[in-house]
Amino acid sequence: MAGTGAPTKEYVDKTIPEQDKLHSSKQRDNAEAIAATLSACASSEKHEKTTKLALTQAATILANVEEYRDSHVRNLEDHVLYELARFGNQHRGSQTDLRKSFGQSQRSRTRKAASAGSEGQRQQFSRQLLEFETRRVTGLRSVLVNYVFSELAWHLKAAELYSNAFKALQTIDETGDVEEFRRSLQLPRDGAGAEKLDKHRQHSSTLS
């Protein structure tokens, strides 16, 4: 019986994604700081219009990512970890009951009970083992499938939002924004700067 119960407890302990929850919480804190920094940078932009707009959009998107991450962590705590803990408690309770039955069966054999009675107890104990193993495997599979599904849903949504943030940052027109900043300083354009700006405008016109 020890060989049946011990691996299960060890396996359940290893599958509890507590470290994943802590890792997600740390990422959430870091990303919130990044979103706040982007928002502050956007507010400080005065002449770089496309930079200001892109940073504002990216900050909003990253903040949305963290809202979804919060929801994901809460789901992890309220459902996955709770269900795994409950599964572990149920398993230990069933394990204790089976140990008692096994002990009674062993004592019966030691006393050399009637052959028919011993065989009946053995059959009953075997059926209990089979039922226990069925519940164990089915329950563990259900909990872990829910965990993996939750992770997939979160990562798909995060990928979508991060893609939107990338697209927002790609709209920054650094050459045009720098030119606007130069004008605010009332500085004349040098030859190299003018040539670069003209090429940039030609390239933008071609793309449009």
User: Yes or no: is domain 2-172 CATH 1.20.1270.60?
Assistant: yes
From first to last of the 208 residues of the chain, give the pLDDT tens digit: 444 444 444 444 445 555 555 555 566 667 778 888 888 888 888 878 899 999 999 999 999 998 888 888 888 888 777 777 776 666 665 655 556 655 555 555 555 555 555 667 777 777 878 888 888 888 888 888 888 998 899 999 999 999 999 999 999 998 998 888 888 888 777 655 556 555 655 555 555 4
pLDDT given at position 7:
41
In this structure, what token pair is assigned to residue 93?
A: 């309770």
Q: What span, in angstroms and rounded, lies between the C-alpha atoms of 177 and 196?
A: 13
Q: What span, in angstroms and rounded, lies between the C-alpha atoms of 175 and 179?
A: 6
Q: How far is CA 193 from CA 116, 182, 196, in A?
A: 101, 10, 5
For the entire predicted model, the pTM comes to 0.60
Task: Name the residue ranges covered by the structural domains of the chain.
Answer: 2-172, 173-208
Q: What span, in angstroms and rounded, lies between the C-alpha atoms of 208 and 206?
A: 5
pLDDT given at position 78:
80
Instruction: Dump pLDDT digits (tens) for 38-95.
Output: 888 888 888 788 999 999 999 999 999 988 888 888 888 887 777 777 766 666 656 5
- DSSP count for the chain of H helices, then E strands: 7, 0
Q: Using an 8 Å Cβ cutoff, are 87 and 12 in contact?
A: yes
In this structure, what token pair is assigned to residue 144?
A: 């872990």
Nearest to 194 by CA among 205, 208, 174, 179: 179
